[in-house]
Structure 1
């Protein structure tokens, strides 16, 4: 029996603009998550990449007797995910007087995953439609997402994005520091 407290992972853009797309809440939590840290000798920087495998299935929509799910299958979900790739390149203004006077800023996307909120950029999306109905409407698919964690220089002009990165790093450090208590259980 599913827990009522089940958290769902999602992608969303920071800000309070009416122009922002709705959060993309994953239909199911990712099948897998891989985090890769790479060190560049040339730049002397560590970059972090997150890879997720998402599963989409029509059975979820059918159980709710959703007429859109019956007619369009999971295609609206796949299309919304594809639109998120395009939306990340749009520029926004900060709210208030600073926004009206200052330069436009790059939108900041955040991956919310449990207690982690990580500023990211989608660098690759690979959708594989696996099952279709007679009208070739997708009913089951997987999506492999590659996300790059944004760095300080990319977030320097966006206070919300910078705060999200700092909070993610603090959470990771706090979690690492709690390791000693886990070892001594």
Structure 2
């Protein structure tokens, strides 16, 4: 439909007591520019039989990463009169959106005790006298790190690009604040690295099969589009010939 745009998103599946709960972070405004970086596959190294190594041999697949900046503004949510997002924006500005992005940096426990919900529950213990906070947040995270992994996230950028990624860096610039010093306007610079098939073997939890399927789908679509481009290549070659 004219005038309608699909919004990009980051999706993380969190383990809960009942069913996996998707943590969907929809971009309030799609970034206008994006840097898509490719790096060469790792060199294969020396030959195992002592012979001369092939200098052109490589292992694995090329490295792939994305970097872009997303903008967040609470006034826009309030103006749209969204009953949920608007009310939350009035209370906390864009802090809730920033917090969701920040939690993508935290490791999740191997037994499901980490992540967005697990970190909250791990920081609170129920004692004989009611609720008590068991140490600092840093101490709670350190207890989970030995058996944890950084979350695997799906980067969704339209129907043609759905890839499993890891958030490699996050830089937040807060620009304006409300009376309670909640940020009401901010920019978040994100760096995402696409996971390789070898890394996807170690993905666990509810996102395991989805991550593998997303990678296979995106790679298959890329190959199909490259084949479709052969028509353009043939036309270009004909145009180069002195006929």
Change (3 A) 1:161 1:67: closer
Q: What is the alpha-carbon distance in structure 2 between the residues aligned to residue 150 and residue 131 of structure 1?
A: 35
Matched, 1:125 2:170: yes
Secondary structure of the residue aligned to 1:28 is: coil
Q: What are structure 1's unaligned runs of at least 5 residues?
A: 94-103
Number of equivalences: 172
Provide the C-alpha distance between the structure 1 equivalents of 2:178 and 2:14, rounded to a whole number of angstroms.
39
Instruction: Say whether 1:73 aligns with 2:93.
Output: yes
Report the equivalent of 2:103: 83
SS of 1:27's equivalent? coil
Structure-2 residue corresponding to 1:33: 34
Over 3 Å counting, the alpha-carbon distance change for 1:71 and 1:108 in structure 2 is: closer
Separation in 2 of the partners of 1:53 and 1:42?
32
Q: 1:52, 1:144 within 8 Å by CA — same for their partners in 2?
A: yes
TM-score for both structures, normalised by structure 2: 0.61
Q: Which residue is 2:9 aligned to?
A: 10
CA distance in 1, matches of 2:79, 2:232: 41
Q: Indicate whether 1:145 and 2:172 are aligned.
A: no
Kept in 1: contact 2:14–2:20 (CA 8 A): no
Residue 71 of structure 2 is aligned to residue 55 of structure 1? yes
Tell me, yes or no, if the aligned pair for 2:13 and 2:20 is still in contact at 8 Å.
no
> Which of the two has higher C-alpha Rg?
2
Instruction: Give the SS at the match of 2:185.
Output: strand
The 10-residue stretch of structure 1 (139-148 or 160-169) with the greater mean CA deviation from structure 2: 160-169
Q: What is the distance in 2 between the residues matched to 1:167 and 1:105?
A: 28
On the 8 A contact 2:175/2:185 being kept in 1, the answer is yes
| 1:160 aligned onto 2:210 | yes
For the Cα contact (< 8 Å) 1:31–1:55, is it kept in 2? no
For 2:230 and 2:15, the matched residues in 1 are separated by: 40
Distance 1:58 1:50, change over 3 A: same
Aligned-pair RMSD on alpha carbons? 2.9
TM (normalized to structure 1)?
0.78
TM-superposed CA distance for 1:148, in Å, is: 0.6
Structure 2 Cα separation of the partners of residues 145 and 122 of structure 1: 7
SS at match of 1:22: strand
Moved more, 109-118 or 150-159: 150-159
Q: Distance in 2 between matches of 1:11 and 1:181?
A: 34
Alignment of 1:111 with 2:155, yes or no, is: yes
